[in-house]
């Protein structure tokens, strides 16, 4: 493999990850603290996703999952502190979770573990601290404290429909039982206070309206705390869309700043009704890149619009304006290297997917602070944003198909992220190329349909050949003879 000073593979040191954190010197246990229905599991899930997105290996150890192996559907009485059997089983679950976490660290399998449980008493927190100290694991306690009744009720309503504890149960009965469970915890709950000022902690009060931090000691702890300071756990959704089909899409060219095709224009005009169908009467804020095709796509939306340079498409460097066939012809070694490790491969004079993730971090922070956002951007950018919310592995994210003329709605929940897709009834070429596929001779089509007469005129105007069936032919492939 040749070495390329401006392109080729990014090769982080074996001793550090992409953020420059030394693996052998960094082991942190994030200990969640809080009453039920305070968003702890959602916060834990978000921390793991965020760190994984940044190439920092993290894992959640959810004590409830350990407890469910012995007691899958407990009633509220199980959580009453006067119930000795319930207390014994809950302690056993905590010990099993902490034991597995320590083993995970000893085996060198990650840098950050999240212990997801109520950890509601000082004695329980002190026990966890001592176990971690014995293993030379740094600790960061994260308490989610909330007295906003509306928010608590929203979380209760979500838990009764998504928690494994209430699977198959009547929703109203589940809600009543869960409220009783909360009352049992409230009897013994002790917030982190001055008596525990030796702890490293971050206290989130009423969904981040107030944040208290104490004794933050290293870079990775501060990184997690910075992320937590930007979180809110109010219910919300995010909408994502690629720009409409562009003139470059028609000819299979990479990058550029092309205008929309006629079908891309049609999608731009249809997008407002698609958004209204998905978002109802909510007032959204629209974020676009600074490139013409996203701005043109968003121009009919009746919302405030913001342009972000960080949302511009992945920079393809010297390959900008080329087709994949031309890239394969001019830079065959690079074409093969990119197929081998697309996430880390950097275009000559351009970017890799890893580079894009780094520049998108401020976008993710702003998304976590905000509500009701619609992003109109590009394929590689949407792959990275989608991978963050859906926890898609790095090696798979650059190969995801993100079709044109499709609106994606993502709704984060405590245990998952719910995805919905709305496809406009407007054909578009496919810009998706599978891993290992040849660039030459590919046709860019829209299923079984040929291009419309108007789109065919667009294609001919750009010098693109058309096959006998009306589909455009990419690169130097020739249309088959008519039979």
Lowest mean pLDDT among 17-21, 204-208, 288-292: 17-21
pLDDT top residue among 457 and 159? 159
Give the domain ranges of the chain.
Answer: 28-230, 238-444
| Residue keyed to tokens 């407002």 | 272
Q: Is residue 352 over pLDDT 70?
A: yes
User: What is the pLDDT averaged over residues 162-178?
Assistant: 82
**What average pLDDT does this structure show over 345-370?**
94
Indicate the average pLDDT of the chain.
Answer: 84
Q: Tens digit of pLDDT for each residue in 255-296?
A: 999 999 999 999 999 999 999 999 999 999 999 999 999 999
Read off the pLDDT of residues 420-442 as tens digits, 9 standing for 90 and up. Answer: 999 999 999 999 888 767 654 33
- Environment class of residue 149 by beta-carbon count within 10 Å: exposed (0-12), middle (13-18) or buried (19+)? exposed
Instruction: Give the rounded distance of the alpha carbon of 336 from its chain centre.
Output: 28
Nearest to 321 by CA among 346, 288, 347: 347
Task: Indicate if the pLDDT at residue 445 is higher than 80.
Answer: no
pLDDT at 25: 62
The per-residue pLDDT for 290 is 98
pLDDT band at 116 (very low <50, low <70, confident <90, very high): very high
**Average pLDDT estimate for 53-71:** 90
Query: Annotated catalytic sites, by residue?
Result: 243, 313
Fold of domain 28-230? Rossmann fold (3.40.50)
Tokens of 1: 């493999």
The band of 77, judged by pLDDT with boundaries at 50, 70 and 90, is confident
Q: What is the pLDDT of residue 469?
A: 43
Q: List, in order, residues 6 or more apart from 270 with CB less than 8 Å away.
A: 424, 425, 426
- Which pLDDT value is given to residue 14? 37
Q: How far is residue 452 from each of residues 404, 426, 466, 470, 478, measured CA to CA in Å?
A: 16, 10, 12, 8, 20
User: How are beta strands 373-377 and 238-242 bridged, if at all?
Assistant: parallel
Contacts of 310 (CB under 8 A, 6+ apart): 359, 360, 362, 363
Cα 165 from chain centroid (whole Å): 26
Lowest mean pLDDT among 81-95, 172-186, 422-436, 463-477: 463-477
- pLDDT at res. 160: 59
Spatial neighbors of 149 by CB under 8 A, at least 6 apart, are none
Per-residue confidence band for 22, with pLDDT thresholds at 50, 70 and 90 = very low
The answer to whether domain 28-230 and domain 238-444 are alike in fold is yes
Q: Which positions make up the binding site?
A: 242-249, 293
Q: Which residues are annotated as a binding site for substrate?
A: 242-249, 293
Residue-wise burial string across 330-341, b where 16 or more C-beta atoms lie within 10 A, e elsewhere: ebeebbebbbeb
Average pLDDT over residues 122-142: 96
Could you read off the pLDDT of 84-115 as tens digits, one per residue? Answer: 888 899 999 999 999 999 999 999 999 999 99
414: confidence class by pLDDT, cuts 50, 70, 90: low
| Whether pLDDT at 448 is above 60 | no
Q: Residue 57: pLDDT above 60?
A: yes
Rounded to 5 degrees, what are φ and ψ at 129?
A: -60, -45
Please, are residues 247 and 321 in contact by the beta-carbon 8 Å criterion? no
Hey, what long-range contacts does 158-161 have (CB within 8 A, 24 or more apart)? 158/235, 158/413, 158/414, 159/36, 159/37, 159/414
What per-residue confidence (pLDDT) applies to 8?
Answer: 47
| CA distance linking residue 128 with residue 103, whole number of Å | 15
- pLDDT tens digits along 225-240: 999 998 876 778 999 9
Least confident of 11-25, 385-399, 427-441: 11-25
If 0-12 CB within 10 Å is exposed, 13-18 middle and 19+ buried, where does residue 81 land? middle
pTM above 0.85, yes or no: no
pLDDT at position 428 is 96
The CA distances from residue 334 to 190, 324, 342, 472, in Å, are 58, 11, 10, 26
- Give the integer Cα–Cα distance in Å for 424 and 390: 23
For 79-83, 213-217, 459-463, which range has the lowest pLDDT when averaged over its residues? Answer: 459-463
Checking if the pLDDT of 152 tops 60, the result is yes
CATH number for the domain running over 238-444: 3.40.50.1240
């Amino acid at each position: 493999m040749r070495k390329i000073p401006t392109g080729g593979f990014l090769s982080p040191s074996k001793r550090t990850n992409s953020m420059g954190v030394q693996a052998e010197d960094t082991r942190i246990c994030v200990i969640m603290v809080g009453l039920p229905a305070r968003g702890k599991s959602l916060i834990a899930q978000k921390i793991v996703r965020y760190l994984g997105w940044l190439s920092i290996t993290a894992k959640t150890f959810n004590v409830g999952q350990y407890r469910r192996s012995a007691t899958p559907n407990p009633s509220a009485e199980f959580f009453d502190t006067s119930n000795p059997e319930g207390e014994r089983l809950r302690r056993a679950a905590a010990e099993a979770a902490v034991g597995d976490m320590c083993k995970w660290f000893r085996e060198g399998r990650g840098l950050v573990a999240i212990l997801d449980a109520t950890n509601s008493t000082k004695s329980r927190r002190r026990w966890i601290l001592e176990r971690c100290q014995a293993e030379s694991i740094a600790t960061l306690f994260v308490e989610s404290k909330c007295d906003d009744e509306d928010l608590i009720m929203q979380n209760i309503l979500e838990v009764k429909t998504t928690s494994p504890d209430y699977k198959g149960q009547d929703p109203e009965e589940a809600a009543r039982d869960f409220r009783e469970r909360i009352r049992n915890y409230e009897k013994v709950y002790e917030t982190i206070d001055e008596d525990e000022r030796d702890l490293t902690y971050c206290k989130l009060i009423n969904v981040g309206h107030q944040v208290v931090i104490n004794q933050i000691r290293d870079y990775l702890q501060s990184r997690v705390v910075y992320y937590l300071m930007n979180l809110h756990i109010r219910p919300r959704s995010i909408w994502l869309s690629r720009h409409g089909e562009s003139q470059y899409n028609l000819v299979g060219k990479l990058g550029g700043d092309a205008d929309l095709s006629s079908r891309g224009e049609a999608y731009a005009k249809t997008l407002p009704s698609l958004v209204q169908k998905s978002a109802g009467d909510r007032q959204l804020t629209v974020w676009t890149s600074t490139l013409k095709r996203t701005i043109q796509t968003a121009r009919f939306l009746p919302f405030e619009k913001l342009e972000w340079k960080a949302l511009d498409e992945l920079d393809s460097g010297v390959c900008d304006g080329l087709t994949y066939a031309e890239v394969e012809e001019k830079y065959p070694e690079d074409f093969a290297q990119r197929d081998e490790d697309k996430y880390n491969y950097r275009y000559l004079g351009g970017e890799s997917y890893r580079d894009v993730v780094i520049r998108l971090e401020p976008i993710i922070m702003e998304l976590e602070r905000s509500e009701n956002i619609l992003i109109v951007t590009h394929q590689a950018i949407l792959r990275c944003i989608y991978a963050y919310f859906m926890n898609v592995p790095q090696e798979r994210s650059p190969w995801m198909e993100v079709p044109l003329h499709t609106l994606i709605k993502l709704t984060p929940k405590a245990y998952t992220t719910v995805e919905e897709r709305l496809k406009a009834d407007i054909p578009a070429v496919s810009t998706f190329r599978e891993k290992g596929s040849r660039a030459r001779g590919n046709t860019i089509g829209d299923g079984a349909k040929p291009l419309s007469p108007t789109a065919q005129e667009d294609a001919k105007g750009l010098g693109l050949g058309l096959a006998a069936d009306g589909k455009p032919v990419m690169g130097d492939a020739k249309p088959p003879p008519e039979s």
